[in-house]
Homo-oligomer: A and B are copies of this chain.
């Protein structure tokens, strides 16, 4: 994969339901799964597939991204060979219209594309929960001499796709159409990961500059007959986190051992920034079942079917079910939580009860004290 540069996009603002989590960070650094940030999956998948030149486009809320990625050492990316570049994105969003692959972001970063000797670019969004080895898809990309190879997945109602998700249409093995769900559905949806020849990407960039249309997928749609666009299938687990409901459902998926196994116990692991905490202490009378727990916690209460991030303290007599508790929360005595998502540094005092709904959990913003 020496001939492929990776590019991870910045995809904020798709849905308002996550806005409470995104005031200080971008979607790419949303905490997930007890110790990860969303971007860890896409970035680790790229690294584990052998990419060693990766650009990550950040938003204007870049502090958490910069802090999380550092120089990429935890992902085995080297500072010496400039394996990881954190790129400044564009702030020019079109109000009321979502651009999935905004070429303005790439426009700002032509330098990154110019500098890489790679002939192909692998572009992906940072909010995909999956483990995927890109090497097979790349072989397909090369074998077909594709301009663009879109990675797709067979549809299933469990994916809860949204109106602006894209479906692929095939004709004679080639991709012949791209349709929004609201327009037309087929059996296969686009995973928001694709290979593109660098030369084609540069051409489309130039075209965008002339036409003022900055949506790469639009450009592909317009030129679907002249471009060689192929598909490569994804057969494993994949979920896209783009709203609170999806975030909750995808998180709870991890509590199914088979999904947990596929994501975390395979040959390739998902890397993340290392936080150094003491092991979690379960003190009597703690009772914990079917949960994921980070390190550095001190737990004295009961936890069922929940995800607890690092450094959480939970006192005697409290019960947590079906909830997500991010790092450094402090939960008092005799607290009851059901369907609650707590952002980090949140504190709940004794005898508090919060009960949300499966489809609409209660959200506590970072630093809330109740």
Contact = CB atoms under 8 A, between A and B. Distances in A.
B71 A85 contact: no
A80 interface: yes
Contacts of A71: 70-71, 73
Interface string A59-86: 0111100110011010000011010011
Interface of A is mostly: loop
A63 B87 contact: yes
Count of identical protomers in the assembly = 2
Interface residues of A, number: 22
A109 B64 CA distance: 12
A67 B55 CA distance: 12
Contacts of A85: 63, 67
A60 B276 contact: no
B60 A88 contact: yes
A62 B80 contact: no
A91 B60 CA distance: 9
A62 B88 contact: yes
A106 to B, nearest CB: 13
A58 B60 CA distance: 10
Nearest to A24: B111
Contact of A86 (B67, B73, B87): B67
A86 B63 contact: yes
Listed residue (A58, A63, A88, A276) with the most chain B CB atoms within 10 angstroms of its CB: A63
A243 to B, nearest CB: 25
A204 B250 CA distance: 44
Given A71-B71, A80-B276, A86 B60 contact: no
A80 B66 CA distance: 15
A88 B60 CA distance: 7
27 contacts: A24-B111, A58-B62, A60-B60, A60-B88, A60-B91, A61-B88, A62-B62, A62-B66, A62-B86, A62-B88, A63-B85, A63-B86, A63-B87, A63-B88, A63-B109, A66-B66, A66-B86, A67-B82, A67-B85, A67-B86, A70-B70, A70-B71, A70-B79, A71-B71, A71-B73, A73-B79, A80-B276
Interface of A: 24, 58, 60-63, 66-67, 70-71, 73, 79-80, 82, 85-88, 91, 109, 111, 276
Given A60-B91, A63-B85, A63-B88, 19 more contacts: A24-B111, A58-B62, A60-B60, A60-B88, A62-B66, A62-B86, A63-B86, A63-B87, A63-B109, A66-B66, A66-B86, A67-B82, A67-B86, A70-B70, A70-B71, A71-B71, A71-B73, A73-B79, A80-B276
- Pairs of residues from A and B, 6 with the lowest C-beta to C-beta distance, nearest first: A70-B71, A63-B88, A66-B86, A66-B66, A60-B60, A63-B87
